[in-house]
Structures are given as C-alpha cells and as structure tokens.
C-alpha cells in the first residue's frame, strides 16, 4: 500500500469519526436524559420519577379520587338536622390523612380522614337551617394523601356485646396500642334498609387489650328501627393519637 492510499484511509477514518461525534451529539440533544429526582417523567421513566429500568423503583398505581356513595339529610326537629355521607377510598396503598369538606346547604365545613381501601360513614350532627332541607351535598374540596404501611389486622376493635338498648355496647381494643381517641358512629336503618337516624360519640384513652363501654343517646325516641350499624374508627395518621406512627413523608395535595 503506497503512501497516497494510506493518507486517504486516514483522512477517511477521521471524517467518519467526526460524523459519528456529530451524530451522537445530535442524538444526545434530542433524547431526554433520565432523572429520577426532578419530579418530571422523562427518559425511560415509566411514571413520575419511577420505573424498574430507569430508576429501580416500581411505579405506583395512579391515585383515584374519593367516592361519595351516600348522602342523607335527617330532620331531627324543625330547623335541626343530622347529615350522613358514606365515603369510599378505592386506593389500597394510600389513605387521606386530611379531607377538607363542606356542606353548602348548611354552610358547614370541616375535616376528616380515611384509611387505605376503607369505606366509612361521615356523621355530622346538629346542623341548623332556616328553611326546610331534604337533600344536601358533600363537597370534597381538598385531600392530603399519605402512604400508610400497616400490616393487616394490626389495629382492630371488636364489639364484645350490646346492651339492652340498641345504642350501647362494649368494645375491646384488640391491638398493642393505646389510643387517645376512638370514634363510634351509629347508623340506624328501617325495614327498607334506609337510614333514619345517625349519631356519634368518642371513647377517650382506650388502652390496649382492654374493654370500654359506650352509650349513644338521642333527644327523641327512635322508632321503626330494624338494623343498627356500629362503625369504629381511629385516626392512624395522627402521631399523638397512638404510640407508633405508620405514616411516611409521602404526602401531596389533590384538589377537586
């Protein structure tokens, strides 16, 4: 191989390397790099800062909104009402540590919570209105979601027995935790399985492996009651409520 041919080969190789470098630069500029900490889905991420190949983290299912299944206004006496709404959380990994809600018809607002996968009754008593109310809507204004890592059956309450009245009973705290506040909601149903009465009470300082009695009273006699539903709940997101906190820092807001 003479010197001229060698020179041509060297020049050709340099030319190929230059073109390859230019091509790689253009490709790198067009392809978004993966960053698993910027709060943006980019590169090979399968979701927001997640993906097994890109970040080594499996993406969670998208958060689904809370569902309001039942809304019921109950007239206690003229101008005095109780309200109950049944709320369902379809998310099995995330609960709502704070739900901001309002009832426009009664100019009432407040907050509550719901555990992952839970369906619960929200009971609100002593609502006042200057005009007759038959219906009302529960508006969910904002939700603060929080991941709750809690083993199944770690916290539960058992109804030991009911008294002679339909509205009293004894609970057993079948967990290893002492709770500051446990809420007891009572829902009354008639023969058509329609809600005809609601009320609630609280048990304070409910120690582990102990029994506590409760009594829920109405100012008026409740008639035509076919079934009574007791719903027991406690706020696992509130650190001051129990000894061990299951909450993590995975919180974010979602507005409706």
- Domain that includes residue 78, residue range: 48-149
pLDDT of the chain, 256 residues: tens digit per residue = 566 656 666 666 666 566 665 555 544 444 556 678 776 777 777 776 788 877 877 777 788 999 999 999 999 999 999 999 999 999 988 899 999 999 999 999 999 999 999 999 999 999 999 999 999 999 999 999 998 766 556 778 887 766 555 688 899 999 888 999 999 999 999 999 999 999 999 999 999 999 999 988 887 778 888 998 999 999 988 888 875 544 444 555 555 5
> Are residues 60 and 88 located together in one domain of the fold?
yes
Place of tokens 């035509």: 224
- For residue 15, the SS3 value is helix
Residue where a domain stops, chosen among 149, 167, 195: 149
Q: Does 251 fall in a domain?
A: no
**What is the C-alpha separation between 169 and 178, in angstroms, rounded?**
20
CATH number for 188: 2.60.40.3230
Residue with tokens 């790198």: 28
139-148 sheet: strands from edge to edge: 108-114, 94-103, 139-148, 247-255
Alpha carbon distance 216, 145 (integer Å): 31
Q: Tell whether 181 and 96 lie within a shared domain.
A: no
What CATH number is associated with residue 68?
Answer: 2.60.40
**Residue pair 127/83 in contact by the 8 Å Cβ criterion:** yes
Q: How many domains does the chain have?
A: 2
Bridge partners, 194 (sequence order): none
Q: Does the reported pTM lie above 0.75?
A: no
Residue 112 lies in a domain: yes
């Amino acid at each position: 191989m003479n010197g001229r041919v060698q020179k041509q080969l060297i020049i050709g190789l340099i030319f190929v390397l230059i073109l390859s470098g230019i091509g790689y630069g253009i490709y790198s500029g067009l392809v978004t790099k993966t960053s698993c900490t910027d709060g943006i889905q980019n590169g090979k991420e399968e979701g927001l800062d997640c993906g097994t190949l890109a970040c080594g983290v499996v993406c969670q299912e998208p958060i689904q909104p809370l569902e309001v299944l039942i809304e019921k206004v109950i007239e206690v006496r003229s101008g005095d009402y109780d309200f109950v709404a049944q709320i369902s959380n379809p998310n099995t990994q995330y609960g709502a540590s704070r739900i901001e809600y309002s009832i426009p018809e009664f100019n009432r607002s407040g907050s509550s919570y719901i555990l992952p996968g839970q369906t619960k009754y929200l009971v609100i008593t002593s609502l006042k209105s200057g005009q007759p109310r038959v219906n009302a809507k529960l508006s969910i204004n904002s939700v603060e979601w929080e991941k709750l890592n809690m083993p199944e059956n770690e916290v539960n309450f058992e109804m030991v027995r009911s008294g002679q009245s339909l509205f009293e009973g004894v609970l057993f705290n079948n967990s290893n935790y002492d709770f500051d506040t446990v809420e007891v909601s009572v829902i009354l149903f008639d023969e058509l399985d329609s809600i005809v009465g609601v009320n609630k009470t609280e048990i304070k300082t409910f120690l582990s492996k102990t029994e506590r009695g409760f009594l829920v009273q109405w100012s008026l006699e409740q008639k035509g009651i076919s079934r009574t539903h007791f719903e027991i709940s406690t706020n696992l997101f509130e650190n001051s409520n129990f000894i061990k906190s299951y909450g993590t820092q995975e919180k974010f807001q979602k507005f409706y």
